[in-house]
Amino acid sequence: MICFDNLDLIWIIITNLLITNFLLANKQPSLNTYLIYSTYFYKNLITIR
């Protein structure tokens, strides 16, 4: 079982937003894959809690 503190969650969200902004600015084709990955990741976080 993975356990996250609230601070860890905040950092994960911030870094995810930064990566998303970076990819959007560069209009990378990998953005689609990344978005799918992050939604999957957040869904897992929610089910863990």
Q: What is the pLDDT of residues 9-31, one digit of tens each?
A: 888 888 888 887 777 777 666 76
**% of the chain residues with pLDDT over 70:** 73
Phi-psi region of 27 (alpha: psi -120 to 50; beta: other; left: phi over 0): left
How far apart are the C-alpha atoms of 42 and 47, rounded to whole Å? 9
> What is the pTM assigned to this prediction?
0.41
- Angle CA 30–14–6, to nearest 5: 130
% of the chain surpassing 90 pLDDT: 0
Range 24-48 average pLDDT = 72
Query: Any residues with CB less than 8 A from the CB of 22 and at least 6 apart, and which?
Result: none
What's the whole-number mean pLDDT along residues 25-43?
73
